[in-house]
Structure 1
Amino acid sequence: MPRRRPPRSASADDLLATLGRLTAQAREGAEKQRARVELAEALQREMLPTRLPEVPGLRTAATYAPARHGLDIGGDWYDGFPLPDGSLAFCIGDVQGHDVEAAAFMGQIRLGLRAVAAHAADPGEVLSRANDLLLSVDCGLFATCTFVRFDPAGWEISLARAGHVPGVWATVDGRSRLADEPGGVPLGIVPGERYPVTRRRLTVSGTLVLLTDGVIEGPSFPIEDGLNQVTRLVGANAGGAPDAVAAAVMSVAELTGHVDDSAVMVLCFEGDGGEHRVKRGTGTRVVVADQRPPLCDG
């Protein structure tokens, strides 16, 4: 006669039921998290521009990479657009938080900066007005940002930073340094904040690279090491195509483990505009270029 297993105790049945319920909840939670990640990444990519403006003598490129494990998505952005006076605006930034809300807020900031810049081309004033705008909506989030204005008549770049990591300047002869001029606090924190502006005439052909901290910082990778690595790479590649420079800079994120999303934007310019510098009042031909522009003349 076969032996029967003893009946399970009530406590064992309860334990199995609880385990099954927790497993189902964990699965549901994982599916919800995956859906949120996919939505945040979709929002991010749809809100980022597929094209950046150019003028003869100025080539541009940008790239974005989500966090490797898909958990930190939504905060980083870049943008570029013509201004009413014929100059070009470029900005890059990072929103506090990494979720759907951060991605949506990033889109609002991007649109807000465009609206403000249409009436205040000076980078410092743009950031000041954007800061006041963010505080007025009381969203509870803040953002770092670097805003750049390129003047094709004066062949000059003016730049202001709101708590954002410095970019890198480099010339085609191999010189490079951090664009770590003084800045202000992130947007959305201090009412009435003012942001100093740095202006630089582009007399020598070279490159300006703007990036977010996800490129250069990780749990076991100090931000100083990342900045040093990027500075060396930009100096070595300053005469190359801007999309190649962007890819080289983004490769530094491999050293950080891609624990955060990352963005890189590259402006490659000819010294004094070459034959392309325009006279004031004659207008500027703006070309909306794709992300794989031709080689930058150096």
Structure 2
Amino acid sequence: MAVREQVNGVRVGVRYAVADHTGDIGGDWYLTTPLPSGDVMLAVGDVMGHGRAAAATMVQLRAAMTRLALAGDEPGAILAALNRMLCRRPSTTLATAVCGRFRPADHSLTWSRAGHLPILRASATGVSALAQPSGMALGVDPAARYATARVVVDPGDLLLMYTDGVVEQRDQAIDQGVQHLADDVRLAMRGSAPGERLRTALDIARRGNPDDDACLLAAEPV
């Protein structure tokens, strides 16, 4: 499944693939929500496991994040609230997530992460991971806090958020998978016209693990 749209001055594309060898739906999800302020909330998350429980939790987390973002909460506060929600459950449910508020007015991204893989930033000079603010996975410690980071995203740059199904492979460390994704996107940036980079990046990125759901979100200011 591929989706491309423009949201509050941000071009967004998403590629989502379900696991090849399981009939159970997983817990991967994404969010591209326009906010009343003119900003955009971008997020990707992954609930551990497959089946109805994982899918139901995914729906609840996505809905809660949307509600909190529309109410004006910042990324760190949103993740803290989701974490408390999972920690109140009688059984252990773990999830990872990354979310960022993009402000078209100054091209800034304010973001937080909960045990999730780093955001990649692709520009004319290369592809690299953004500095990772501290934040453990959701559902571990109800008192956990989630730091925020801020970066200015120049016109023509791409931001990429993704779940581990995009980069994880059985025979290599996950850091190697992240590097492979960065290499693929670097090729897309080098060989594509400015207006085609997002589409090409989504098309060229290899899928890491066919036995897991995979979600890749790419966003660029317009």
The two structures have a TM-score, normalised by structure 1, of: 0.67
1:203 aligns with 2:154: yes
* Distance change in 2, residues 1:105/1:176 (3 Å): same
Identity value in percent: 30
C-alpha distance in 1 between matches for 2:78 and 2:136: 14
1:107 aligns with: 59
User: Helix, strand or coil: the match of 2:50?
Assistant: coil
Of 87, 109, 115 in structure 2, the residue corresponding to residue 135 of structure 1 is: 87
2:46 maps to which residue? 94
Identify the residue that residue 228 of structure 1 maps to in structure 2. 179
CA deviation string 1:239-298 (max 9, x = no partner): 43423212222x232xx4x1211000000225xxxxxxxxxxxxxxxxxxxxxxxxxxxx
Q: Could you tell me which of 187, 192, 199 is aligned with 1:243?
A: 199
Q: Is the 8 A contact 1:184 1:193 kept in 2?
A: yes
Among 206, 215, 218, the residue aligned to 1:263: 215
Preserved CA contact (<8 Å) 1:120 1:126:
no
**Aligned mates of 1:194, 1:53 — CA distance in 2:** 32
Secondary structure, aligned partner of 2:61: helix
User: Aligned partners of 1:109 and 1:138: how far apart in 2?
Assistant: 17
RMSD in angstroms over aligned alpha carbons?
Answer: 2.1
1:225-247 CA distance string (max 9 Å, x none): 21111111222223434232122
Superposition deviation, residue 71 in structure 1: 5.1
Distance 1:218 1:248, change over 3 A: same
Q: Is 2:20 the counterpart of 1:68?
A: yes
> For residue 171 of structure 2, what is the amino acid of its counterpart?
S
Partner residue, 1:24: none
- Give the counterpart letter for 1:235 in structure 2: R
What is the 5 A alignment of 1:148-187?
148-171=100-123, 173-187=124-138
State the 1:200 CA deviation: 0.8
Superposed CA deviations along residues 107-136 of structure 1, whole A, max 9, x for unmatched, are 111001111222343111111122122223
- The one-letter code sitting in structure 2 at the alignment partner of 1:228 is Q
Q: Does 1:55 align with 2:8?
A: yes
> Larger % of helix: which?
1
Contact 1:59 1:267 in 2 (8 A): yes
Instruction: Report the AA paired with residue 55 of structure 1.
Output: N
The answer to whether the 8 Å contact 1:53/1:88 transfers is: no
In the superposition, the TM-score normalised over structure 2's length comes to: 0.88
Distance in 2 of aligned mates of 1:62 and 1:157: 18
CA deviation after TM superposition for structure 1 residue 139, in Å: 4.9
Distance 1:132 1:84, change over 3 A: farther
What stretches of structure 1 of length at least 5 have no aligned partner? 1-44, 271-298
Which amino acid in the other structure matches residue 101 of structure 2? R
Instruction: Report if the CA contact (8 A) 1:52-1:80 is conserved.
Output: no
Deviations along 1:48-69, one digit per CA (max 9) or x if unpaired, are: x96755233x211001111121
Question: Does residue 218 in structure 1 map to residue 173 in structure 2?
Answer: no
Within the alignment, does 1:252 sit opposite 2:177 as a pair?
no
Q: Distance in 1 between matches of 2:134 and 2:178?
A: 17
> Larger Rg: 1 or 2?
1
For residue 140 of structure 2, what is the amino acid of its counterpart? I
Greater share of residues in strand = 2
- Aligned residue pairs: how many? 217
- Distance change (3 Å), C-alpha of 1:199 and 1:146: same
Q: Distance in 2 between matches of 1:179 and 1:266?
A: 14
Contact 2:121 2:129 in 1 (8 A): yes
Q: For residue 30 of structure 2, what is the aligned residue in structure 1?
A: 78
Distance in 1 between residues matched to 2:70 and 2:7, nearest whole Å: 18
